[in-house]
């Protein structure tokens, strides 16, 4: 072992017992029910894929994760170096004078506060909405934003930022919008076979190891396509090839399952969505979580807290009345939510009780609360697809 470490560098090989804790650290996703399904939250230093149909809440879920990182993670911006657009190494203080030309929203206040984690959004779709992000709790002034010209530029920037160790979370929105340079420079209608799949495969081989070393979580948002000529089985497939399915430690499928109407019933104000953990290397897979997304506000966090507290018997429901300890919250779910909204200290207390119960036995809570779904054996489809190629 000493010879190998001398040849390849200290820490190339080590005994697991002397390497510290082997547990994967997590951070909140912004949705309590999803945190329980994931066994604690989103894993640090891993690749996460969130996919689903259009307008299902993929970007909303990613923005909530960004907001949580900015609050809960310790900033790594200090004591870091960066590689600027010209390819040269620049120290962090130089960025205040000459920042990345392709990034928006400066970092001066982050350096002054020295608080909170750092997140980056690679907006390949060029549809980033600062007002909506701010409503979801994102610190848009300190959010690092990149709107790349092509897929190679997007992934190279993301990889450099990941290797710098300065960011805790990088979100790529979306894989389908990572257009290869050759496709952009070519004419519309030209046959460009497998360019995006090769691009993703090459990038993920580099980024997976860099993310693990830097402790940076990579979230890839992805869209659904349909296979041609499939009459039996599931015709849906995610774009960008199959490399992301293998490299991702967590794959989340999000789908709308209903609409939320106003009290009067004359207006649709949100969506009821279901997230299924299709793959997880850090917790038990095939769990699912249901929660509400309110238009203009994002995930209903109080709704998640109330649902979890009810299942864990922290909040009791007798008939249509909700109560916590000796205190009545209201008759009906809507009135109970309104009461929690008007009493933030009480809602924080209930949430702490839920998270405490979660920490004591997340496995038991997750198995009893979250619905388990039978595996859909996507690996078999991947194997047959590889055999045909």
pLDDT digits (tens, 9 = 90+) for 344-385: 999 999 999 998 888 776 444 444 444 444 444 444 454 444
Please compute Rg for the chain using Cα positions.
22
pLDDT exceeds 80 at position 113:
no
Please tell me the predicted confidence (pLDDT) of residue 133: 97
Compute the distance between CA of residue 39 and CA of residue 158 in angstroms, rounded to an integer: 27
Q: What is the pTM for the complete model shown?
A: 0.82
Query: To 5 degrees, how large is the angle CA 67–CA 68–CA 72?
Result: 130
Tell me what pLDDT residue 337 has: 93
- pLDDT at res. 19: 56
Q: How far, in Å, CA of 146 to CA of 158, rounded? A: 9
* 133 contacts: CB under 8 Å, gap ≥ 6: 63, 66, 140, 143
As given in the structure block, the two tokens for residue 31 are 């949705």
Q: What share of the chain is helix, strand, coil (3-state, %, to 5)?
A: 40, 25, 35
pLDDT of 328 higher than 50? yes
Q: What does the pLDDT look like over 142-166, one tens digit per residue?
A: 999 999 999 999 999 999 999 999 9
d(CA 353, CA 336): 17
Please give the helix or strand (H or E) that residue 50 lies within, else none. Answer: strand 47-51
Q: Is the pLDDT of residue 17 over 80?
A: no
Write phi, then psi, for 120 (nearest 5 degrees): -130, 135
Q: Which residue ranges make up each domain of the chain?
A: 25-180+192-300+372-388
Whole-angstrom CA distances from 292 to 151, 176, 193 are 33, 26, 39
Query: What gap in Å lies between CA 43 and CA 87, rounded to an integer?
Result: 30
pLDDT exceeds cutoff 60 at 57: yes
pLDDT digits (tens, 9 = 90+) for 268-298: 999 999 999 999 999 999 999 999 999 999 9
Q: How far apart are CA 376 and CA 153, in angstroms?
A: 35
β-bridge pairing 47-51 and 250-261: parallel
Domain 25-180+192-300+372-388 classification at class level: alpha beta
Convert the pLDDT of each residue in 159-202 to its tens digit.
Answer: 999 999 999 999 999 999 999 999 999 888 887 889 999 999 99
3 or 291: whose pLDDT is higher? Answer: 291
User: Is the backbone of residue 319 left (phi > 0), alpha (psi -120 to 50) or beta?
Assistant: left
């Amino acid at each position: 072992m000493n010879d190998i470490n001398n040849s390849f560098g200290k820490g190339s090989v080590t005994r697991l017992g002397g390497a510290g804790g082997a547990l994967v650290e997590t951070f909140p996703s912004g949705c309590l029910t999803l945190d329980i399904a994931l066994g604690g939250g989103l894993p640090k230093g891993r690749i996460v894929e969130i996919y689903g149909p259009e307008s299902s809440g993929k970007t909303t879920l990613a923005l909530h994760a960004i907001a949580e990182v900015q609050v809960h993670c310790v900033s790594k911006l200090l004591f870091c170096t960066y590689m600027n657009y010209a390819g040269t190494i620049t120290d962090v203080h130089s960025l205040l004078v000459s920042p990345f030309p392709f990034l928006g929203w400066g970092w001066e206040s982050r350096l002054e506060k020295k608080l909170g984690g750092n997140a980056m959004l690679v907006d390949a779709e060029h549809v980033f909405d600062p007002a909506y992000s701010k409503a979801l709790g994102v610190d848009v002034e300190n959010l690092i934003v990149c709107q790349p010209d092509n897929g190679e530029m997007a992934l190279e920037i993301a990889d450099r930022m990941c290797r710098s160790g300065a960011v805790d979370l990088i979100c790529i929105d979306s894989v389908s919008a990572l257009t290869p340079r050759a496709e952009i420079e070519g004419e519309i209608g030209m046959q460009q076979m497998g360019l995006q799949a090769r691009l993703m495969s090459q990038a993920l081989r580099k980024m997976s190891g860099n993310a693990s070393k830097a402790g940076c979580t990579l979230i890839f948002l992805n869209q659904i396509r349909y296979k041609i000529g499939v009459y039996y089985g599931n015709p849906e497939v995610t774009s960008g090839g199959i490399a992301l399915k293998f490299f991702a430690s967590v794959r989340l499928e999000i789908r709308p399952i209903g609409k939320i109407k106003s009290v009067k019933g004359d207006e649709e104000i949100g969506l009821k969505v279901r997230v299924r953990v299709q793959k997880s290397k850090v917790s038990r897979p095939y769990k699912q979580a249901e929660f509400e997304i309110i238009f203009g506000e994002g995930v209903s966090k109080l709704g998640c807290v109330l649902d979890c507290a009810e299942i864990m018997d922290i909040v009791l429901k007798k008939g249509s009345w909700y109560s916590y300890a000796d205190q009545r919250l209201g008759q009906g779910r809507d009135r109970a939510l309104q009461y929690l909204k008007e009493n933030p200290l009480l809602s924080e207390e209930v949430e702490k009780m839920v998270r405490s119960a979660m920490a004591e036995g997340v496995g038991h809570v997750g198995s009893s609360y979250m619905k388990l779904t039978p595996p859909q054996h996507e690996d078999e489809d991947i194997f047959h697809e590889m055999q045909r190629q």
